[in-house]
Amino acid sequence: MLVLVANLGSTSFKYRLFEMTDDGAIDDIQNVRCLARGAVERIGDAQSKCTVAIGDWSDEKSLAVPDHGVAVQACLDQLTDPQHGVIREATEVAAIGFKAVHGGRLSGVFVVDDALLDAMAEMNAAAPAHNPPYIAAMNTLRTRFPDLPLVAALETDFHRTIPAARREYAIPRSWADQFHVRKWGFHGASHRYIAYRSAEILGRQDARVISCHLGGSSSITAIRSRESVLTTMGMTPQTGLPQNNRVGDFDPFALPLILQRTGLSLDQALQTLASEGGLLGLSGGHSGDVRDLEEASDNGDAQAQLALDVFVEEIRRHLGGALVALGGADAIVFTGGIGENGVQIRDRVCAGLADLGIVADSASNASIKQRVNDLGEASFHAGNSRTQLWVIPTNEEVIVARQTAAALKHS
């Protein structure tokens, strides 16, 4: 079975083409082969950039791509290229799988239909940067490719196993029941991959693992027996850890004061929190990128240092909650762009935790890139650490590919 896994933005279409058996289990993450990857950027511009990589061959071209339907056609044209393509006809693709975000009352993996799109639209206010582009693109693709199944794997699905006591807000019951206001959690495909892969590495299906997905968007999930039991993001992807430019946890009762003093509307204040907050806001507008902040801090920028300090302290605070929820951890895994590359962040997060059985080997941490296996994985715990420390690159796309194949099988 061939599945095209799509990662959508409002003006982008990134994809990978996977080959797998259609009877493989969702946790069968090894027997999936990536045949090609590519992207269409600047959709809607007069000239869009289309890139593709198939084996040792790569190609880049510019052409007019007015919408996501044309973007998919452009990628299919590349995949069926007579000289370099990996498929003869576009009909060989069984489905397109999407790492969709928020379905509110619907959480799981669904063949895209009107009911799913309606449920996603109900949550537009909770995921304004994610849901509307996905809904628009899915509608375009359903019209342009009516015989090509579309499958949405919602990020909230992995967190359905979290106990109710860790999912509910202390709000009027009617708000939770009528408007689905609860802690849904996100980054589900990433944390699911870490759950499955770390179980393989540890040789234990019942392992207690803390998955630290740290990047432009960050969250921490406590995992027991490959199931989520606690996560840091709540009702929306805006919550939990400070993000690149999104606020993270924030007291809503500060909003009336901000509106009164600034004259901003509620929508304007929320947009500011979603685009000028996080590490960008903490650094005084310098940058939301940890690499930039570390460079600025080394040059004496106090605000950049403050942003890094807050980020580390928030990771450690939520790490403590995950340790309590699990009663300890067999492994802590760092993934995502910062998790995989942030040597200083990993060192600081793990510092001073020997009494909790967590001891990092700083030399091993610094030499991760020289010691990784074929999947980019390596450990950096000290010999006397009861908890293993790992860097494991995530692979959300392979999870979505497996989920898509399973959905087709049972549809």
From the list 322, 326, 159, 154, the residue with the least C-alpha distance to 227 is 159
At residue 260, the pLDDT reads: 97
410 pLDDT band, cuts 50/70/90, is confident
> Which tokens belong to 240?
């939990």
- List, as residue ranges, the binding site for Mg(2+): 7, 396
103 pLDDT band, cuts 50/70/90, is very high
> Which tokens belong to 111?
């063949």
Residue 46 has pLDDT above 90, yes or no: no
| Secondary structure tally for the chain: helices H, strands E | 15, 14
Higher per-residue pLDDT: 310 or 130: 310
At residue 317, the pLDDT reads: 98
At residue 1, the pLDDT reads: 92
d(CA 411, CA 409): 6
At residue 411, the pLDDT reads: 78
At residue 226, the pLDDT reads: 97
What pTM, to 2 d.p., does this model score?
0.94
Q: What are 239-296's pLDDT values in tens digits?
A: 999 999 999 999 999 999 999 999 999 999 999 999 999 999 999 999 999 999 999 9
At residue 161, the pLDDT reads: 98
Q: What are 374-406's pLDDT values in tens digits?
A: 999 999 999 999 999 999 999 999 999 999 999
Mean pLDDT on 33-44: 93
Mean pLDDT on 140-166: 95
**What DSSP element (H or E) covers 133?**
helix 131-144
At residue 316, the pLDDT reads: 98
- List, as residue ranges, the binding site: 7, 14, 289-291, 337-341, 396
Taken in order of first residue, the domains within the chain and their CATH numbers are 2-159 (3.30.420.40), 203-396 (3.30.420.40)
Q: What are 169-220's pLDDT values in tens digits?
A: 999 999 999 999 999 999 999 999 999 999 999 999 999 999 999 999 999 9
Mean pLDDT value across the chain: 94
At residue 8, the pLDDT reads: 83
129 pLDDT band, cuts 50/70/90, is confident
d(CA 396, CA 161): 19
29 pLDDT band, cuts 50/70/90, is confident
- List, as residue ranges, the binding site for ATP: 14, 289-291, 337-341
From the list 334, 284, 333, 283, the residue with the least C-alpha distance to 311 is 283
